[in-house]
Amino acid sequence: MKRTAFFISDGTGITAETLGQSLLSQFENIEFIKLIRPYVDTVEKARNMVQQINAAAERDGERPIIFDTVVNREIRAELASCNGYMIDIFATFLAPLEQELGDGSSYSVGKSHSIQHNHHYQDRIDAVHFAMDNDDGARTQQYDNADIILVGVSRCGKTPTCIYLALQYGIRAANYPLTEDDMERLQLPPALKQHKEKLFGLTIEPERLASIREQRRPNSRYASFAQCEFEVREVENLFRRENISYVNSTTFSVEEISAKILVQMGIERRLK
Amino acid sequence: MKRTAFFISDGTGITAETLGQSLLSQFENIEFIKLIRPYVDTVEKARNMVQQINAAAERDGERPIIFDTVVNREIRAELASCNGYMIDIFATFLAPLEQELGDGSSYSVGKSHSIQHNHHYQDRIDAVHFAMDNDDGARTQQYDNADIILVGVSRCGKTPTCIYLALQYGIRAANYPLTEDDMERLQLPPALKQHKEKLFGLTIEPERLASIREQRRPNSRYASFAQCEFEVREVENLFRRENISYVNSTTFSVEEISAKILVQMGIERRLK
């Protein structure tokens, strides 16, 4: 069974998309064709959307599901004329919130993802540059400014996690790959030792690690199961010995790994 | 006036946070203390949350606003005993959606941000590595594999935009800084010329560019207003002459710039 879902907004569409995806993910038996339609900010564009929705309804033989965060009433009225099942996110929650907060909503478009509303926007951009400059142990002299330093074997997921922490939360995340040298020395390199309270470990199943490394350097010792198994075991020993908290990244997304890290380290995310 | 808002989930909390932020951003007169509480996945943790919420209610003299995407009914029942104003996102929308879709919800936790549900997860991770490897014109030989190549003067916002496109949408985004050499040659470098259909321009107000560059290299010619004004003017001329679409990044966030680029290039975001 196929159903089309539209995520429609007069801004970026991120809120409609995030909520819509969450809700639709609960229906496992249905295959959805998902279409994001940001910047539907004129009645004319809304009219065009209505045509797209009605065409999808005809094609599917079922009306599409519409997740809509349009703020403007005229545009919303135009959209409402479509042959879709409307989930009007703002209409559902704003009126009761106005009553609870005893204050009127500004009904302004796209505030949530604008620079103006986002007090920490520059922190997030600076953190992205920080994460890129401090990727893969390239430098250690900026560790004084790091909020967190991710450690683990090569290719266990450190880089995307740092980038996510930086971009979403403005957290200055560096990462340092632990190598065989570090393992043989049986202790942390000095650059890490002096920032021990910022360290967080990532680990991974050796099978998964070998398959990731195989894509990068086929048939290498680096990608062999024996090597991966050795490195993972040694690094986990190191984490335990040095009392470094760690997460196994094998079955988790960067979103999940990041949320777990922040909970475990007790870092409060910087919100707008 | 201060109010506390909690974003509570038994998963990452991303959906509760995104929707909650969007809704609260509409109330400009109220200052919110925002607290994300992911992985509230046992009744005991819920009981602890209730205590935190009640303490905030007492401190603020007003009940906190609770955005909750907890799926488990027992945990939700525990939470509901708090002295907060509950916005129960799943309860509000899931039952009507079940009726519309003629299918039961799986009521499973944290699906939206899990690897299992996210068919394009590996694409996103690969795209992040691609963006990092192809940042700042470091290489051009991988442009065959790029979905998009962002061009513009140094420090106009190309890097964070590429990272965002990669991480959120699995789009392989490279970026290439146009230098004075390129401007004086009055044409595109060969590496860009052969991928003209992938190019998208970023531009920026000279004042803003000068202030960003000043932080990086104080009192340099690079950061001078005259230099910034010259580069921006030349690059915009180049965009127009070569018929390259472009966006002015000055007042927009990476979320907004990315949404605009995708709309203008007609790229459909890869959704789960």
Mutate: best of B6, B48, B66, B112, partner A, most A CBs <10 A: B112
Q: Do A101 and B30 lie within an 8 Å CB cutoff? A: yes
pLDDT band at residue A271 under the 50/70/90 scheme: low
The pLDDT, as a whole number, for residue B235 is 95
- Assess whether pLDDT exceeds 60 at residue A272: no
* pLDDT < 70 stretches in chain B: 269-272
pLDDT in tens, A28-54: 889 999 999 999 999 999 999 999 999
Quick check: B237 and A97 in contact, CB under 8 A?
Answer: no
pLDDT band at residue A270 under the 50/70/90 scheme: low
pLDDT in tens, A169-209: 999 999 999 988 887 777 889 999 999 999 999 999 999 99
Q: Which of B87, B129, B253 is opposite residue A115, by nearest beta carbon?
A: B253
Q: What is the pLDDT averaged over residues A109-136?
A: 86
Average pLDDT, rounded, for chain B: 92
With respect to CATH, is domain B119-265 assigned 3.40.1000? no
The pLDDT, as a whole number, for residue A259 is 94
The pLDDT, as a whole number, for residue A95 is 87
pLDDT in tens, A51-85: 999 999 999 999 999 999 998 889 999 999 999 99
Strand order from edge to edge, sheet including A2-8: A31-37, A2-8, A65-68, A85-88
Rounded to two decimals, the ipTM of the complex is 0.89
Tell me, yes or no, if the two domains A2-101 and A119-265 fold the same way. Answer: yes
CB-CB neighbours of B127 under 10 Å: 26
CB-CB neighbours of A75 under 10 Å: 23
Mutate: best of A34, A94, A112, partner B, most B CBs <10 A: A112
pLDDT in tens, A95-106: 899 999 998 887
A22 contacts in chain B (CB < 8 Å): 15, 69, 89-90, 111-112
The pLDDT, as a whole number, for residue B33 is 93
> Alpha-carbon distance A227 to B7, whole Å?
42
Please give, rounded to a whole number of angstroms, the shortest distance from the CA of A124 to a CA of chain B.
9
The pLDDT, as a whole number, for residue B181 is 82
Quick check: B80 and B86 in contact, CB under 8 A?
Answer: yes
CB-CB neighbours of A144 under 10 Å: 9
Residue B212 touches partner A, C-beta closer than 8 Å:
no
Domain positions in chain B? 2-101, 119-265
The pLDDT, as a whole number, for residue A103 is 84
Q: Which tokens hold the place of A142?
A: 């900026």
Long-range contacts of A241-246 (CB under 8 A, 24+ apart): A242/A187, A242/A188, A242/A196, A242/A199, A244/A151, A244/A196, A244/A199, A244/A200, A244/A201, A245/A200, A245/A201, A246/A152, A246/A200, A246/A201, A246/A202, A246/A203
Instruction: Give me the architecture of the B2-101 domain, per CATH.
Output: 3-Layer(aba) Sandwich (3.40)
